[in-house]
Amino acid sequence: MTTLLAFAFVLGVLVFVHELGHFLAAKRVGIRVLKFQLGFNPTVLSVHRGGTEYSIGALPLGGYVKMAGENPDDERSGKSDEFLAKTKWQRFQVLIMGPVMNIALALVLTTVVLYQGVEKGAYEDQPPIVGVVVEGSPASRSDIQPGDRIVSVAGRGINTWEQFLLAVGTKANREVSIGLLRNGIALERKVTPTVIGQSRFEVGDVGVLPNVHPHVRSVLPGGAAEKAAIKAEDVVLAVDGRPITFSYQLKEAIAKHPDQLITLTILRNGEQQTIQATPAKQGNEGLLGIGIGDETVKIKPGVGQAIGISVEKNIEYARVIFQTLWGLVTRETSPKQLMGPLAIAQLSGESAQLGWIALFSLMASISLNLGLLNLMPIPVLDGGHIFIMMLEGLARRDFSVRVKEKMLLAGFVVILMLMVTVIYNDLTRISWIERLMPWRDAPATGVQSPKGDTGAGSPKGDTDPTGAQAPKR
């Protein structure tokens, strides 16, 4: 029930904001609006006000604004309040305002989330200098070494770990060139990212980790850690000689050795030490009795700073979205990364359980996708209508109804193919359904990435967001 309610809330808000943009722009330029509907038929609630019917449909998968004289084959009265009676500039304003409102909503929601304060990995905004190369990973097979500074992925400059992980994440099972700087010498390596084993989406990973380590936050009195003289604020560098980068790796290493002696390499007051400890057995897992955490930084910006960071983040995410879309055209990005309404519903439910901050972050990501994707020059989308209008302007004549119908039909075919793709992808992410697909290979496994799932989005019909790319926030 939480998933359904969260999905209805997320989609309802995004569609309402999008259609509100069209509605307000139409009213401003003097176009008569016949109907403003959220959701698709059958209609469950309808109210008439000021010559406009406001209604709610039973299927919360989109919405629309119907304007007088909107379609070329509509009966024309010759009145000046019809859509096609307006100038191209006025019609452009009406078409563009839906996507603009979604982009604006993404900026507002991101600002709100940032203003509440953000805790993130300390490494995310740092230059991507390799700290650890995972054994057997694509990076190890391509001679990427600790200390290498990653400067580019697929020819695009990389300045932070966050940028690197986003760039590699969209290249699963696709060979990509990675530019390195090693001892002042520029190098290039060809690497094919593998799929992260536990990811629901096909997220690429090459097996390089930053030079960070978890630290001990607390020590349980009388526990195995206290007996081994482990202290709070110790930084754990390795277990049995294996480098430890994140807290989940340390938890796994301890859990695998109940009642077995392990050797921890720690950093205490700037000095490296070796400590031996024996995790106590709890069930089938080992337990040291410590609280552990990753290196994080906390940001609590003011309103102005939050707005500035929001603009920067959304520009960066927009760049990733466009790169993903272009990657789909050039086959550099796998279509398996696309997600549809089922995946969005699942993410909405999970985010709602984490709290409104997580839910707003997801909404901001999807809203940005919705705004940008609707600007794509594909007939049926807002951007497609703008593109047709631009061609008419260049030709200095309006196209015939027949020509426009052919353009819209071509756009509809493209959208239909994308819908089939995203829905198929969603179904394959449901384990019991995937087991009914004998042509599907076993789920791929790969190196665990420091980042969680990311998704890539696809264009969809007007305000029917069945595709979203979700860069991490």
Residue 431 has a pLDDT of 64
More confident residue, 59 or 34: 34
Q: State the pLDDT confidence band at 441, using cuts at 50, 70 and 90.
A: low
Rounded to the nearest 10 degrees, the angle between the axes of helix 303-330 and helix 356-373 is: 50
Rounded to the nearest 10 degrees, the angle between the axes of helix 2-28 and helix 356-373 is: 50
Does residue 337 contact residue 202 with C-beta atoms inside 8 Å?
Answer: yes
Q: What is the pLDDT of residues 144-182, one digit of tens each?
A: 999 999 999 988 899 999 999 988 888 888 899 999 999
**104 pLDDT higher than 80:** yes
Q: What is the pLDDT of residues 192-234, one digit of tens each?
A: 998 876 556 678 899 999 999 999 999 999 999 999 999 999 9
94 phi and psi angles, rounded to 5 deg: -65, -45
In the predicted model, what is the mean pLDDT of residues 303-314?
93
pTM to 2 decimals?
0.77
**460 pLDDT higher than 90:** no
What is the C-alpha to C-alpha distance for residues 62 and 40, in angstroms, rounded to an integer?
Answer: 6
DSSP 129: B
DSSP H or E segment with residue 85: none
More confident residue, 156 or 447: 156
CA 419 to centroid of chain Cα atoms: 18
Residue 339 has a pLDDT of 75
What is the C-alpha to C-alpha distance for residues 371 and 368, in angstroms, rounded to an integer?
Answer: 5
Catalytic residue among 19, 82, 124, 202: 19
Q: Is 19 a catalytic residue?
A: yes
**Residues, the chain, total?**
473
Q: State the pLDDT confidence band at 311, using cuts at 50, 70 and 90.
A: very high
Q: Which domains does the chain have, with CATH numbers?
A: 2-116+325-434 (no CATH), 118-209+295-299 (2.30.42.10), 215-294 (2.30.42.10)
Residue 106 has a pLDDT of 96
Average pLDDT in the chain: 85
Residue 12 CB burial class (10 angstroms; 0-12, 13-18, ≥19):
middle
Cis peptide before 42 (omega within 30 of 0): yes
What is the C-alpha to C-alpha distance for residues 349 and 328, in angstroms, rounded to an integer?
Answer: 28
> For 318-322, 325-329, 332-336, which range has the lowest pLDDT when averaged over its residues?
332-336
What is the C-alpha to C-alpha distance for residues 315 and 321, in angstroms, rounded to an integer?
Answer: 10
**88 pLDDT higher than 50:** yes
Q: State the pLDDT confidence band at 439, using cuts at 50, 70 and 90.
A: low
DSSP per position, 282-341: ETTEEE--EEEE--EEEE---HHHHHHHHHHHHHHHHHHHHHHHHHHHHT-S-GGGB--H
Residue 457 has a pLDDT of 35
Residue 190 has a pLDDT of 95
More confident residue, 461 or 169: 169
Residue 346 has a pLDDT of 81
What is the C-alpha to C-alpha distance for residues 169 and 174, in angstroms, rounded to an integer?
Answer: 10
**19 pLDDT higher than 80:** yes
Q: What is the pLDDT of residues 379-402, one digit of tens each?
A: 888 999 999 999 988 888 888 878
